[in-house]
Amino acid sequence: MLQRLGFYTLKYWLCKGKKEVNMKNWIDWVTMILVVVGGINWGLVGAANWNLVEALLGAWPMVVKIVYILVGLSALWVGYMAATMDKK
């Protein structure tokens, strides 16, 4: 099922040209996907003044807030992963 969602395509795109990738578990992948979703959302807000998260989940303001918190925490985690990545 994950192959149909493009999970392995994303993994290949992120990892091509690298000998070793520091994404070891599902949390690393979920956080990376959330950061990509957050980046796309902010790109849409900046370019078209359209918030995808609120368009999809606007009926549930608490869920929107949780998504924003998860995206922010994911950005911190991905930043930590990048800072501690093996630079061989």
Question: Domain tally for the chain?
Answer: 1
User: Residues of the chain whose pLDDT is less than 50?
Assistant: 1-3, 5, 19
Instruction: Classify residue 1: in a domain, yes or no.
Output: no
Q: Within 10 Å of residue 67's Cβ, how many Cβ atoms?
A: 19
Domain that holds residue 57: 7-83
Instruction: Classify residue 88: in a domain, yes or no.
Output: no
Which residue type occupies 74?
A: S
Model confidence pTM above 0.95: no
State residue 16's pLDDT score: 58
User: How far is 84 from 23, CA to CA, in rounded Å?
Assistant: 11
Please, are residues 23 and 76 in contact by the beta-carbon 8 Å criterion?
no
Structure tokens belonging to residue 84 = 């501690």
Summary mean pLDDT of the chain: 81
State residue 28's pLDDT score: 86
Q: What is the DSSP letter of 24?
A: -
Alpha helices by DSSP H, listed for the chain, are: 7-15, 26-48, 52-57, 61-83
